[in-house]
Amino acid sequence: MADPSKILKANVKGEFFVDSTCIDCDVCREIAPEIFADWGGYSYVRSQPRNEAERRKAVQALICCPVGAIGFVGDNSKSLILNVINDFPILIEDDVFYCGFNSEKSYSANSYFIKNPKGNLLVDSPRFTSHLVRKFESMGGIKYIFLTHRDDVADAESFASYFNSTIIIHKDDLIGGKSADFIIEGEEPFQIEQEFLIIPTPGHTEGHCVLLYKNKFLFTGDHIWWDRDKNCLSAGKSVCWYSWEEQIKSVEKLIEFDFEWILPGHGGRMKLPKDKVKEELKKLVERMKRWR
């Protein structure tokens, strides 16, 4: 729980606050940008909720905060938190959900759940919580756990052992997935079920992969994300652990695929028309070449 004695002085006074244990992971700013903003190394409350919808989003951010740095001292705060927990996993579109409950073990990477008749799939891992376990159970369990790369493993093994799931990760990133049942090798796209296509995208790490679902959703891990401030697609040279040149090639490779949704581990989520996505990818490749 957040500590009022550690409250950041930048917070606008009111029922929500952020304390100094914040790790600046950006999750609250992605969920509730009307409420939370960047204060150089921390998030802070820029504006208190003005209505019930904003209040609910602020509570969702509190639930997702991996270090419990968001405090809520409003009326009925405990009962509202218990009520909002039931929002998770949150529907994004069709049969794709954002899990919430981001884990500090993966520096708060987002994870996603796909409910599919051929078998449900978890993309990266949230915290192993009884609420999510019950929810996933009621939605048919987890057949596959796809790990985009070695950093975002979090509690994947706990989910895998509970649901008897198959863990999938690229061979070159196996170091983080302490065990795996299904190992991707090389750089060719690999189909695991009709609608799940794994595309190796080395760069951020050597074995980084993205997942294309129904030619509509691209789960991008730490390969690319939407920059909310600059309103464009982005990638990070400062967080490129393997090879920037490889990462440029891996972004270029995505231009041939069709998708609308960019669903990253960190940073902004975005939906655009397919042709606009291709334009954004081309512009990003040009910027990445300039950042060499």
Q: Contact positions toward Fe ion, by CB under 5 A?
A: 151, 222
Closer to Fe ion by Cβ: residue 58 or 254 = 254
Closer to Fe ion by Cβ: residue 55 or 170 = 170
CB of 265 to Fe ion, least distance (A): 7
Distance CA 145, CA 93 (A): 20
Closer to Fe ion by Cβ: residue 222 or 246 = 222
CB of 223 to Fe ion, least distance (A): 9
CB of 150 to Fe ion, least distance (A): 8
* 3-state secondary structure (DSSP) of residue 33: coil
CB of 160 to Fe ion, least distance (A): 20
The structure tokens listed for 230 are: 């600059």
CB of 64 to Fe ion, least distance (A): 18
Asked if 207 and 247 touch (Cβ cutoff 8 Å), the reply is: no
Closer to Fe ion by Cβ: residue 127 or 150 = 150
Closer to Fe ion by Cβ: residue 155 or 222 = 222
* Gyration radius from the chain CA atoms: 19
Residues 6 or more apart whose Cβ sits within 8 Å of residue 279: none
Task: Give the E-state strand segments of 24-180 in sequence order.
Answer: 36-38, 43-45, 70-72, 90-93, 96-98, 112-114, 121-123, 144-146, 166-170
- Nearest residue to Fe ion, by Cβ distance, number only: 151
The structure tokens listed for 41 are: 């190394």
